[in-house]
Amino acid sequence: SKPTLAPSTIAQEDRFFIFSILVCNGFLEKLYQTLKTKYKDFTPATVENELNIACRVARGKESRLCYYLGATSDAATKITSEVTRPLSYHVPVHKICEKLQKKDSQICELRYEKQVLDLSSSSLIKLKVVELKNILQSWGEMCRACFEKTDYVNVIQELAPKYTSHKRYSSDL
């Protein structure tokens, strides 16, 4: 399988960097980090409980992953034990995702949308309108009054403090 970038491995000094990682790796890594901070030791039952909590608040592709794992109420199959047991034994997330691919190939086809790390207007203006719409959609927002690219850029910059921890969203045109 192809190597993926974890968000923590991305250089902070990059002014404009777009990345895409497997949803499986990203979601399970966040889950594992949550478990490590909350519990000294954790059992498969503890992992399953935290997985269910994470899946209740998951949106977009992470919600779709939860559906494939069977961690949602409307899921047809349940393969959560393929995640909970290995995670409780501290098996690396990428190994768990490789095994999940054998169970359901759709799991590893899920990729996060491109994420723009630099939300300054000069960087946003270089994106296509579709990509700007995707940024808003990933935040659960929509702009019905936007007719031009600059409208989308302005809305994204206005909402950026609410949805990002990055402080590089000031206008620099």
3-class state of residue 43 by DSSP = coil
Domain spanning 21-109: CATH superfamily? Saposin-like (1.10.225.10)
Class of the 117-163 domain?
Answer: mainly alpha
| pLDDT tens-digit map of 38-88 | 998 889 999 999 999 999 988 888 889 999 999 988 888 888 999 999 999
Could you tell me where in the chain the CATH 1.10.225.10 domains are found? 21-109
Spatial neighbors of 101 by CB under 8 A, at least 6 apart, are: 1, 107, 108
| pLDDT tens-digit map of 83-128 | 999 999 999 998 998 888 888 888 878 876 666 567 777 788 888 9
What's the longest Cα–Cα distance across the chain?
53
Global confidence as pTM = 0.60
| pLDDT tens-digit map of 142-173 | 898 999 999 999 999 998 888 775 444 444 43
